[in-house]
Amino acid sequence: MRLLNTFTAPVLLAGLLATGVCAHDLWVNASESGTSLTAELGYGHDFPVAEAIAEDRVHIFPPMKVFGSGESVEMIQEGENYRYVLPEGVAPGTYYVAATYRPTYWTRNPAGWRQATKRDVLGALYCSQAQMFGKRLLIAGDAVLDETQMTSPVGHQLELIPHTAVSYSSDQSIEIVVLFNGEPLAAAEAEIFFRKGEGELESRKIKADPSGRLALVPGSAGEFLIKVSHQEDYPDKRVCDYHTYAATLTFSIP
C-alpha cells in the first residue's frame, strides 16, 4: 500500500498494519444514558480497554472533568479506580470528557524507574518530567454535533482540536490542529490508533504540516484514538533531562 504524505493528502486509515499502543498511554472512554454520564480513565496499552491503575500512580490523576458551553464540571470517582460518574448527567449537546496526568518525574537507573528527579536517584541515567492529557468528544442525547463547541479548546497544555466534524462518516476527511500552549505546533508527530469491533489494534504515524494541521480519512467505522507527543529540554539538567508531553483525542465513527 502506498503511504500518503499528510502535506499533500489525508491519511487513509483502512487496511493498516496491526500494532499496539505504547505502554501507559492516557485516553478517555465515555457514554451517557440520558440520566447519568459515565467515563473511564484509560491508562495502559490496550485501547479502548481500561484497566485498574496501580496504587502508586493513582495520585497522579486529578478527577476527570466534563467541558461544555464554556463551563466544566468535575466528575466523581466511583467503583474501580479508573471509573467516574456524573450522576445528574448532562443536557443534550456536545461535550468533551477529559482526563489529565499531573507533571511527574520519572528517572531511570540500572535498577529501573522511580518517581523522582535525578538528584534523588543514585546512578541516574535518564529523567523525564511527563505530563499527559486525554479527552473524548461526546454528543449527548438527541443533539446534533455543535461544531463551535467541538473546536473550542478545553485548555490543556498540549491539545488536539478538530476543525471538521469527526462523527458523521468514515469517508469524510478530518482536519485536526495540534496546539501547544495555545499555539499551533508545527510538524508535530502523531499516531492514529483504530480498533474495528473485536479486531486487532491498527496504527499509522503521521506528521502535522507547518501550521500544525493533521489530515486523515477514517476509512471505516469504529473507535479511534489520535495521539500527539512533544518533548522539550528541561532547563536544569541536574534535575531532569526533558519535559515530555502527550495528548490524545478519542471518538467513534458509527
* pLDDT given at position 209: 92
The confidence score (pLDDT) of residue 198 equals 67
pLDDT score for 140: 93
Task: Give the Cα separation of 43 and 55 in Å (integer).
Answer: 13
Closest to 230 in 3D by CA, of 129, 154, 161 = 129
Contact (CB, 8 A) for 47 and 21: yes
Give the other-Cβ count within 10 Å of 3's Cβ: 10
pLDDT for position 253: 81
pLDDT in tens, the chain (254 residues): 222 233 233 444 433 333 333 358 999 999 998 789 999 999 998 898 999 999 999 999 999 999 998 899 999 999 999 999 999 999 999 999 999 999 999 999 999 999 999 999 999 999 999 999 999 999 999 999 999 999 999 999 999 999 887 765 667 778 999 999 999 999 898 998 887 666 677 888 888 999 999 988 777 778 889 999 999 999 999 999 999 999 999 998 87
Q: Show me where the domains of the chain are located.
A: 11-253
| C-alpha cell, 170 | 468514515
Contacts with 198 (C-beta within 8 Å, 6 or more apart), sequence order = none
Q: pTM for this structure?
A: 0.88
Which grid coordinates belong to 195?
480498533
DSSP 231: E
Buried b (16+ CB within 10 A) or exposed e, 94-133: bbbbbbbbeeebbbbbeeeebebbbeebeebeebbbbbbb
